């Protein structure tokens, strides 16, 4: 247990140095959610150490968004989704190499998401979902 934590801290220090040096992170990866035939939308997000890909998601219409969060890493991550008022809409735990699937009903607006594990948000595990007004 203690040993594992030491390794995790070492990895974090290396990554923090990388972030400071400007060679980690990776910036924005934008994607459109896929409209499904039943009227809902689908987005697949990869959770890795320490980023979500994509991290800027546009949804062309409000309604049900099917979230498929794939943890491609060997460590546990989390997907927390908040609305503009800061209320938590989702709080999903994703075990290593596992996938979490969950539906959320979204109105037009901007939603922030992040991993709530210590340090992970600061290391880059965050993004946003922008839901556009239906045309
Ligand atoms: Cu995480």
- How do residues 94-114 score in pLDDT, each as one tens digit? 999 999 999 999 999 999 999
How many whole angstroms from 77 Cα to the centroid of ligand 1?
4
Can you give the pLDDT at residue 8?
64
How many whole angstroms from 78 Cα to the centroid of ligand 1?
6
The whole-angstrom separation of Cα 89 and Cα 94 is: 16
CATH value of 26-131 in 3.30.360.10, 3.30.1490.20, 3.30.70.100, 2.60.40.420: 2.60.40.420
The residues spanned by each domain of the chain are: 26-131
Q: Is the pLDDT score of 4 beyond 80?
A: no
90-119 residues labelled b (16+ CB within 10 A) or e (exposed): bebebeeeeebeeeeebeeeebebbbebee
Q: Is 8 or 59 the better-scoring residue by pLDDT?
A: 59
How many whole angstroms from 127 Cα to the centroid of ligand 1?
12
- How do residues 27-62 score in pLDDT, each as one tens digit? 899 999 999 999 999 999 999 999 999 999 999 999
Residues, beta carbon < 5 Å, ion ligand 1 = 77, 115, 117, 120, 125
How many whole angstroms from 38 Cα to the centroid of ligand 1?
32
């Amino acid at each position: 247990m203690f040993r594992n934590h030491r390794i995790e801290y070492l990895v974090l220090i290396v990554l923090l140095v990388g972030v400071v040096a400007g060679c980690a992170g990776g910036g924005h990866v934008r994607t459109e959610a896929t409209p499904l035939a039943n009227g809902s939308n689908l987005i697949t997000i990869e959770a890795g150490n320490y980023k979500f890909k994509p991290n800027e998601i546009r949804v062309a219409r409000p309604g049900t968004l099917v979230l498929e969060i794939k943890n491609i890493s060997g460590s546990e991550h989390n997907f927390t989704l908040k609305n503009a008022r800061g209320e938590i809409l989702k709080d999903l735990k994703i075990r290593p190499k596992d996938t979490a699937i969950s539906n959320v009903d979204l109105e037009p607006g901007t939603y922030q998401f992040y991993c709530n594990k210590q340090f992970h948000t600061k290391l880059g595990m965050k993004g946003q979902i922008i839901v556009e007004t239906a045309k």
